[in-house]
Amino acid sequence: MNREELAADLARGTPVKSCFHRNRCPMLLLGVCFLILVPARGAWAWTEHPLVIRETLASFPEVQDAGLVKAESLNAFLMAEEKGLVKLLEDEEAWARKGLAWYRPLPEGLRFRATGNARDVRQRFCHAIRINPHARLGLYLQFVPTVPTGEGRSITPDRLTFLKDLTEWKKTRFAELGEGEMVSPSDVVTTASDEPDFGLDIGLYEDNGTAFGTLYGFGKQPFGNPNLEYSSQGPFHMGYYHEAWIVGALAGFVKQTYPEHRIHLYRTLSVHAFRTGHDYWGGRFMGIGLHYLMDLNLPYHSTLLPGVSTPRMLWINTLDLVWVSGPKAGAIQLVSNRHTALEAFQQAVMQEAYRQGHGDDSPLFEALRTIGDCPAWDDRMVRDVITARSNSLAAKADRVVEETLPGRWVSDPTFELGTSPELYDVMTVMRREGGDKAVEKATGLLREVLEPLPGYVCSYARGILADASRLPARPE
């Protein structure tokens, strides 16, 4: 590859995989060769999203106080709204092409068409919105600790996803819903907030080894390891909008992310479902969209290498080009471990608060229940507000994680935390090594990160309900 060819690839945003062969990487473009790895858990943000969103919805009357809704299968919704979805998804595609610079257009043959065929409507829909067609999308509820599931209704997570690694949900409880069963809107939104991590965005690239990945038109996976199960969802759950200009100029492939698309898509679907009387799917699409919004609120999902300055990124990449690969490999491993450690702590500390009945005095729950400002939703909020703030906290977050989480986990570049059994006993290890002060300091960091989330959730949810003309009269 000569310099002109490389420049053309960068201008198009083509993944520069040839740069990973050192003898073919021009020394004048040192920054192009950043190798961004998404670890097994690293494409996730808040582990077990319902732990977070349930507390916010508890203070959101438009959802919390709404009447029960009737559970409805995806097929029933799609067949009832098949004709309306044709125009809706055409408009959504036009919006994405016009508004998202790095958007790869939907292939013409995948456009949603009304055929009246109930047998393949689900596949037609999955193809049209480009999600994994093997996603189960069944009727179920997901519960936080201490909330009863109901006798005889419990199901295991393997009923809900095709994923092989289900360790994240080993302590999570689920219940099956029946068609037509009446259910709380809050429970619907809460449950759906975890659904994208059940595989909706996995295997969508042409190098992921899936038949649909070759059809979808997203091209090759722009970053991460395409051979890892969870890695391929990374570009749909991360948004690197605030990196130094030189990173964007020399490594344009990091811009090829799609959370803005997902947030807008599911918002559009939610509004349509509410407008047409399918309140269950209105809430469910709302919850799915909130997942991506919540992901971007975590600094590790809005920042390439928290704690590593741009000059240092360039320097360790330069060393890697001359076969000194240790510094870059170490930096990537440490960031991966710290990302994973913070997620594990978040899940553990919130599960503990639920189980021990500390919700009323938990600083995290207090932050999540305080909505504060609820500005009108604007699509620019994703870049200009949500990721801007989380990116600004990245250096502090990385420093606090280094200071409070177990030393071997976050300071040893030879240790792989993602596959360690210690990960699922994070509170015990933290208290043994750092005591209650470490737990308190890490909890303080989580509170600071989570504080603006209720406002974002309120803006997104209230905007959907307003556009669907479903907002009840608010008390004076």
- pLDDT confidence of residue 359: 61
- pLDDT confidence of residue 223: 82
Query: For 195-239, what is each residue's pLDDT tens digit?
Result: 999 999 999 999 999 999 999 999 999 987 676 677 899 999 999
pLDDT at 28 over 50: no
- pLDDT confidence of residue 358: 61
Q: Please state, in angstroms and rounded to a whole number, the distance separating the CA atoms of residues 222 and 219.
A: 8
Residue 176's beta-bridge partner residues? 140
For 48, the 3-state DSSP assignment is coil
For 234, the 3-state DSSP assignment is helix
The better pLDDT of the pair 60, 203 is held by 203
pLDDT at 437 over 50: yes
The better pLDDT of the pair 277, 1 is held by 277
- pLDDT confidence of residue 195: 97
What's the burial of 80, exposed, middle or buried (CB within 10 Å: 0-12/13-18/19+)? middle
CB within 8 Å of 436: residues ≥ 6 apart = none
Q: How confident is the model at residue 308 (pLDDT cuts 50, 70, 90)?
A: confident
pLDDT at 46 over 90: no
Query: For 453-471, what is each residue's pLDDT tens digit?
Result: 999 999 999 999 999 986 5
pLDDT at 250 over 80: no
Encoding tokens for residue 94?
A: 């036009």
Kind of pairing between the strands at 140-143 and 154-155: unpaired
pLDDT at 13 over 70: no
Is 307:332 a contact under the CB 8 Å cutoff?
no
pLDDT at 475 over 90: no
Q: Please state, in angstroms and rounded to a whole number, the distance separating the CA atoms of residues 100 and 91.
A: 14
CB within 8 Å of 440: residues ≥ 6 apart = none
For 140, the 3-state DSSP assignment is strand
Give which of 181, 287, 303, 175 is closest to 247, Cα–Cα: 303
- pLDDT confidence of residue 355: 86
The better pLDDT of the pair 46, 274 is held by 274
> What's the DSSP call for residue 15?
-
Is 141:187 a contact under the CB 8 Å cutoff?
yes
Q: Please state, in angstroms and rounded to a whole number, the distance separating the CA atoms of residues 341 and 333.
A: 12
CB within 8 Å of 99: residues ≥ 6 apart = 379
Is 182:209 a contact under the CB 8 Å cutoff?
no
- pLDDT confidence of residue 22: 32
Which whole number is the average pLDDT over 182-191? 96
Helix (H) or strand (E) holding 176: strand 173-176
Which whole number is the average pLDDT over 63-75? 92
| Tokens 């406002």 -> residue | 455
Cβ atoms < 10 Å from Cβ of 237? 26
Query: For 335-374, what is each residue's pLDDT tens digit?
Result: 889 999 999 999 999 999 888 876 667 899 999 999 888 9
pLDDT at 153 over 90: no
Q: How confident is the model at residue 45 (pLDDT cuts 50, 70, 90)?
A: low
CB within 8 Å of 310: residues ≥ 6 apart = 243, 244, 246, 247
Q: Please state, in angstroms and rounded to a whole number, the distance separating the CA atoms of residues 55 and 307.
A: 30
Q: What is the dihedral of CA 42, 45, 51, 54, to 10 degrees?
A: -150
pLDDT at 31 over 50: no
pTM, entire model: 0.89
Alpha helices by DSSP H, 412-469? 426-450, 453-467
pLDDT at 302 over 50: yes
Q: Please state, in angstroms and rounded to a whole number, the distance separating the CA atoms of residues 138 and 122.
A: 12
DSSP per-residue codes, 302-319: T-SSTT--HHHHHHHHHH
Residue 269's beta-bridge partner residues? none
Encoding tokens for residue 27?
A: 């020394």
* % of the chain residues with pLDDT over 70: 87
> Angle CA(321)–CA(327)–CA(332) in degrees, nearest 5?
100
CB within 8 Å of 326: residues ≥ 6 apart = none
For the chain, the maximum distance between any two Cα atoms, rounded to a whole number of angstroms, is 69
Encoding tokens for residue 221?
A: 């996976």
- pLDDT confidence of residue 235: 94
Tell me what the pLDDT averaged over the chain comes to.
86
Cβ atoms < 10 Å from Cβ of 115? 11
Alpha helices by DSSP H, 227-369? 234-237, 245-250, 259-275, 279-296, 310-321, 326-355, 363-369
For 203, the 3-state DSSP assignment is coil
Q: How confident is the model at residue 7 (pLDDT cuts 50, 70, 90)?
A: very low
Q: How confident is the model at residue 66 (pLDDT cuts 50, 70, 90)?
A: confident
Phi, psi of 405 (to 5 degrees): -80, 155
pLDDT at 380 over 80: yes
For 255, the 3-state DSSP assignment is helix
State in Å, rounded, how far the first CA of the chain is from the last one: 66
pLDDT at 326 over 80: no
Query: For 385-408, what is each residue's pLDDT tens digit?
Result: 999 999 999 999 999 999 999 999
pLDDT at 151 over 70: no
Axis-axis angle for helices 394-404, 326-355 (nearest 10): 80
> Angle CA(397)–CA(403)–CA(407) in degrees, nearest 5?
120
